[in-house]
Chain A
Amino acid sequence: MLKPITEEKRGVPEPAAGVRTKPNRLPQWPLHLMILPALLLIIVYSYGPMLGSVIAFQDFNPARGIFHSPFQGLENFRYVMALPDSMQVVWNTLIIAVMKLVVGLIVPIAVSLLLNEVRKEFFKRGVQTLIYLPHFLSWVILGGILIDILSPSNGIVNDVLKLFGVDPIYFLGSNEWFRYVLVISDVWKEFGFNTIVYLAALTSINPALYEAAVIDGAGKWKQTLNVTLPGMAPIIILTATLALGQVLNAGFDQVFNLYSPQVYETGDIIDTFVYRIGMVDAQYGVATAVGLFKSAVSLTLLSVSYFLAYRLANYRIF
């Protein structure tokens, strides 16, 4: 039995030595070469600053530089802890971020459910074009617009309120209102864009499930409750868990362009605090200490949120 097989084998021309027969024998060095430029830049401009965080533990002096400034342990952290504003800044950050996360999660889901009920394609497309738009404008532009329309003297919002007999409100200068302005304007900017993922999830729900629900006598409302929402559950869980990693990001660009010393009490957040200590007061070591604290806590939160997303929604970053 063995002989014919070997004979048969001999019939097939043997590949000459060194000729590739399998695609995965391609050399890997071009792949390394492709990555190299980006890798170098990332090492310098992302990992460099990570190492540069050592100035959080130094009495940093720009004239002496990172390498010759005296080491002083946790002194900068102690100094920040002793500042009267520190706790307030952390609280402001958490409160603003959590409010944004909750409202920013609910609104896009509701709007995508409503959009999903629209049968006229051109209407749907038109709505999407308009509600995605604010996402693409910077907080400088939107900040300028908000400052104008919320102005207590001639802003259009206060003009409208006047019609209802409401006294002018200084929205951007009042500690009572400032956080609400932040949350509403942030949700206004981003809700449209965030409907994209939910709309995609909605189109992937199996139509047979709706047919089965109708046969069982389910009306529109029951279909939404028992078919649509469970169908969206994975993506909702995913966005909610990923949002968890962002609770220290209250939105630097937005707050920086809208706040003023009058509203530091309710509106000052960690990132703006770091900016003022570091870039305005030039207390580099202290600012870095605050930034490092935030980065370290964020890393923990992000790790937890990615782990949860992986376990609950089988999510992988790459």
Chain B
Amino acid sequence: MAEKIKILYIDDEMDNLTGFKATLRLDYQVFTAVNIPGAMEHLEKHADIRVIFCDQRMPITTGVEFFEEIRGTHPLPMRILITAYTDIESVIDAINRGNIFRFVKKPWMEPDLVSAIEEANKFYQANSMLSVKNEELQRAYSELDKFAYSVSHDIRGPLSGILGAINVAREMYDITEMKEMLFLMEKSLKKLDTYILSMHDYYSLQRGELHIGDIDFKKLTEEFKDIYKVFTNTANISFKVNINQREPFRSDTVPLKLILNNLLSNAFKYQNKNTDAKMVELTIDVHKGVATIQVSDTGIGILGNHLGEIFNLFYRASSQEAGSGFGLYNVKSALLKLNGQIEVNSVLNKGTTFKVTIPTK
């Protein structure tokens, strides 16, 4: 059963509070207070109170005054005034000023209260939904800005390079030089292609749904051994894989592979050229429903002042390789989908270790 809606009722007459609570406590979680300080205490403790009922005629502060006060400090709960017809002037005034959602006449009848709560709750939910959507929209806009900026560099950059190369080629007659340039052109185009593929990953991570299935890490990592054979053979980097899985693990292979692939390709790419025994080590332990994945390398390391920013979109902490600034951001997005965590440990010129923990679904 869903959690009960929290409501608060303020009235200086104890009998009213008791009657109110007795009527509604089965269907709602009811908080009561005989005065304003008591009410404020409840509001501070329970930020998720959705509906506040308040009696109009109280000593010191009237209901209308109270609602006017908390409108600024606690804007989310729906405010409902309980009052007798004789106070109608002040009620009309309060409603017109937007301080009150509804009023219930005194003495109240149970159906009136329930319908007021249900209506108020609908409004509350619509408002919260709106603020969540607003936040998402704000984030999407700020990422769109980053994209617009990156298009000017990461897409136009390689293209202007290729155009420049074509210009130069018009006055180039040496075949070796031409081949050298073609090789560099290819490199630039591959970078552009990687950028576009990563952009696709980015989009599918933001929008795609999860497809949960059984994960066999041994099988999954066999694929990576093949992919990184090029590095192990040509760049003389040894690749150690240790898998320790004795229990089933359920997750989505697509974001899982994306995480592994980005961490591994970084580990291979950002190797320290001066190190003799170059190595990348992947360790996966599945224990009590949690997969712990560690990727360690003997690479160039990451300077401490960059560590906080490496998961940001388009952030690059090295000029050694052609990074797009997408990889670790996508890793973070994928982990968000799988409820996972990531930690990084790095020593400059010695190596970096990423530790990922993901719970089974």
Query: Do A and B share a complex?
Result: no
> Interface residues, chain A, CB within 8 Å of chain B?
none
